[in-house]
């Protein structure tokens, strides 16, 4: 299965008056080919025709927009979609998105 993988720091959204943690989040970068398992994308039924094309970056942008929303770059850890896996055991969290 095709996947997009990146690492990011887990951050806390703090309440400005009490300094308590409201939720935890990760900043999602703009996806590029270096985030993708290109061998699997070339085998994928939907992406195989576009994996070596300039249109591929637009398809990655649409995937990112579907995950985090139109005007955001934050992925809240309490609202993780089912096809997104997050490993927070290390200093940086490893995020894997199954396509």
Looking at the whole model, is its pTM more than 0.85? Answer: yes
In this predicted model, what pLDDT tens digit does every residue of 48-61 receive, in sequence order?
A: 999 999 999 999 99
In this predicted model, what pLDDT tens digit does every residue of 13-61 receive, in sequence order?
A: 999 999 899 999 999 999 999 999 999 999 999 999 999 999 999 999 9
7 three-class SS: strand
Q: Write down the domain spans for the chain.
A: 3-98
In this predicted model, what pLDDT tens digit does every residue of 75-99 receive, in sequence order?
A: 999 999 999 999 999 899 999 999 9
Non-local CB neighbours of 35 within 8 Å, separated by 6+ positions:
4, 5, 6, 29, 60
């Amino acid at each position: 299965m095709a996947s997009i993988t990146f690492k990011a720091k887990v951050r806390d959204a703090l309440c400005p008056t009490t300094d308590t943690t409201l939720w935890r989040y990760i900043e999602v970068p703009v996806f590029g080919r270096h985030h993708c398992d290109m061998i699997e994308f070339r085998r994928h039924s939907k992406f195989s025709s576009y994996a070596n094309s300039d249109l591929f970056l637009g398809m990655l942008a649409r995937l990112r927009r579907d995950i985090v929303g139109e005007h955001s770059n934050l992925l809240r850890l309490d609202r993780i979609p089912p096809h997104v896996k997050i490993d927070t055991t290390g200093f940086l969290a490893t995020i894997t998105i199954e396509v």
